[in-house]
Amino acid sequence: MSNGWMISDNSLDIKELLKNESIFNISNGYIGIRGNFEEKYPDDYPTVRGSYINALYEEVSIPYGEKAYAFPEAMQKIVNIIDAQDINIIVNGEGFSLFEGTVKSFQRYLDMKEGCYVREIYWVSPLGKELKLKISRIASLKYLELFAINYEIEKVNFDEDITIISSINGDVTNFTDDNDPRVAAGHSHILSVKSVELEDEIMQIASETHNSKNLVTVTTKHSLNVANDISFEKTDTSIKAIIKTAPGKAIINFTKYNVYTDSRRYKNPLKDGFKIVRELSKMTFEELKKLQSDFLKEFWSIANISIGGEDKLQQGLRYNLYELLQSVGKDTISNISAKGLSGEGYEGHYFWDTEIYILPFFTLCCPKLAKNLLKYRYTILDSARLRAREMGHKKGAAYPWRTIVGGECSSYFPAGTAQYHINADIAYSYVQYYLATGDFDFIKEFGVEVIFETARIWLEIGHYHEGFFKIDDVTGPDEYTAIINNNYYTNVMAKHNLKWAVRLYNELLLKDEELLNELCEKIALTKEEVETFEKASDKMYLPYDEELKINAQDDSFLSKAIWDFENTPKENYPLLLHYHPLTIYRYQVLKQADTVLAHFLLEDEASLETIKNSYDYYEKLTTHDSSLSCAVYSIMASKIGYIDKAYDYFMETALLDLEDTHGNTKDGVHMANMGGTWMSIVYGFAGLRIKEDHISLNPKLPKHWSELKFSFKYKGFVIAVKVNKDKTEVKVQKPCSINLKINGRLYSFENNTSIEILN
């Protein structure tokens, strides 16, 4: 089943089950449920039966064989919470299972217009009883606490009663994999049941994390359209409803309403759970679906991208954008983790992925959600200040490499804490939001302080040498090269961070001197210190190799031996799983885009010749072992005119999870790559850039595409772009003071709503 808006996979192959649990997750930014079967698999089948709440965490100790000063002692990790998925259908003592009896037909699909995951099944029991089932589930985008499951049950060749057993279970554990550092390791039993309650046929379990004392509840109510008898059974960790339906041929419609509440957001999660489920269960499942589709209609009106000529690609692209919406936090307590809410890879941590790979989509398509992501970084600013002091810095903030509530969760500092560039990445995202929206009030309230405090760190870790400002002992985006001097990416992003700290200081001086004075007093910032920002920015050292005419990745990279790619077996990738870090660090080999990424983010800092030479040099050294890599290489291939290469890299990003090209989708989908897919189209093939006084487009369509259409928001206006082989057409809703540069020529929308030029 495929119409461009549905993802379908009808396989019951044991090898595909784990992957499909991730693919068919349903989430809404608050709750996330993996695509498990309600009735479960046979006991010997692999599964990660997972339910998660964004930013609900346990704090666990970090074990070290040898520990040094300022190593983080504890970290946060996402919690696999109470399981409310269980529903079992019993016919004359026979339990429904896709792995017993005869499956006459089976379809499952994710409908991205309706926001609903569906299984449609025609099943014959071992004793010949025939059932048709339509099982639908949604994580409500309107009421974030709600996870609802609906069963339509048709008795085909019998009219006896059936029994529905619906359970919630608090005896859950987190998934671990000690052999893969990208997946959670250790600490599987982190949640304890505190209470199991039954009140007016409403079931509730409350559990608490052992150390962080975060409380989470699931409160469940049922609705049926036929006469029934209901009874309940409780244990210390579970409760189930046993519902016996009346005999007859009527189609049974059964809905299970599950409401999640937690102590990070609710003062009384137990009481609130009962209150919310009573209210929401007044709505039918069809009414809830209507709210879901209405929400998505508004989302897709801006976010949808239409590609003429490739249906499969269209489907994969929409899936990636849908997952971004599903996974992004809808409040300032939460953010968006590397795996969203689809699995436990990277333990639910938030990385720089948010700012560099995901925020661009939300900034230009859903700026309200972008604001939440930026506000989240503001809420953990004090933790970043504390981390800076732990690291020996007298001023400023050092944002954690990976975190949930603000503390550093990375125990491997060469590829974690040493990645100081996250400070500049966060500052960059605030600036991009400002340029795209013009929302100076937001920047005043939440952005300026972050940009000042992140800028201070560069003066703490950098120094002047031979007339230049240099930054030593850091790690750039490429995690196959660590603890080096003058990483080009870090230095050029630091320059941008410092420049904008000065720029915003001066803007506030003109527009809101009172607020500036209050802020300067709060953080003890002086005009003289701002002048040091300007000097460091002006004198920033950006390594350049005269012979190769490229920006060197760092001071020592080009002097190393080149990795022996020819004799590295295919099965030895990713390298990090087969070679000691020190072995990798000694060679010219990249895990992902580094200097090439810098050339994308700050293209005006280098000539086109340097950008092209750098691309050509680093591409042949890059393994793309990180899912963050191909999107950047696609974008920059578009910029320098390698359109076929840009297309090939783009295809790697578009279908990475649906085709499981990295072999680890079972641990959760790859959120940064999904953001990168959108960037590859909008920043790559369309060539969009947000400049200080205009936006620019330089469209270059792949030969496989007949047309490209997309929309985005800029300074409050919706801009629609249509590109085909012959022309580019750009429309706005009404005349507005927006300057647009297309293929180097400047246009204005002052007196018109449409611009059309020949390509």
Catalytic residues: 479
121's tokens: 């099944």
Burial of 574 (0-12, 13-18, 19+ CB in 10 A): middle
* Most distant CA pair in the chain, distance: 89
Strand partners, 138: 148
Q: How many CB atoms lie within 10 A of CB 40?
A: 17
Give the type of residue at 240: K
Q: Give the single-character DSSP code of 759.
A: -
Q: Confirm if 84 and 258 have CB atoms less than 8 A apart.
A: yes
Give the Cα separation of 10 and 334 in Å (integer).
Answer: 34
DSSP 364: H
At 80, is the secondary structure helix, strand, or coil? Answer: coil
User: How many C-beta atoms lie closer than 10 Å to residue 68's C-beta?
Assistant: 7
Return d(Cα 11, Cα 6) in angstroms, integer: 16
Phi, psi of 376 (to 5 degrees): -55, -45
Instruction: Output the CA–CA distances (angstroms, integers) from residue 5 to 106, 283, 312, in the order listed.
Output: 19, 26, 10
Tell me if 700 sits within 8 A of 687, measured CB to CB.
yes
What DSSP state is assigned to residue 355? I
On the CB side of 524, CA atoms within 13 Å amount to 3
Looking at the DSSP bridge assignments, the partners of residue 713 are 718
- DSSP annotation of 545 reads B
Directed axis angle between helix 381-390 and helix 448-461, to 10°?
10
Q: Name which of 398, 420, 557, 395 is nearest 493 in CA terms.
A: 420
Q: In degrees rounded to 5, what are phi and psi of residue 52?
A: -140, 155
Query: How is the beta sheet containing 727-732 ordered, strand by strand?
Result: 306-308, 707-714, 717-724, 727-732, 754-758
CA distances from 165 to 36, 118, 240, 278, 375 (A): 17, 20, 7, 21, 43
3-state secondary structure of 683: helix
Burial letters for 199-223: b for 16+ Cβ neighbours within 10 Å, e otherwise? eeebbbbbbbbeebebbbbbbbbbb
Rounded to 10°, the helix 527-538/448-461 angle is 60
- The number of beta carbons lying within 10 Å of the beta carbon of residue 551 is 27
DSSP codes of every residue in 230-258: EEEEE-SSEEEEEEEEPSSSSPEEEEEEE
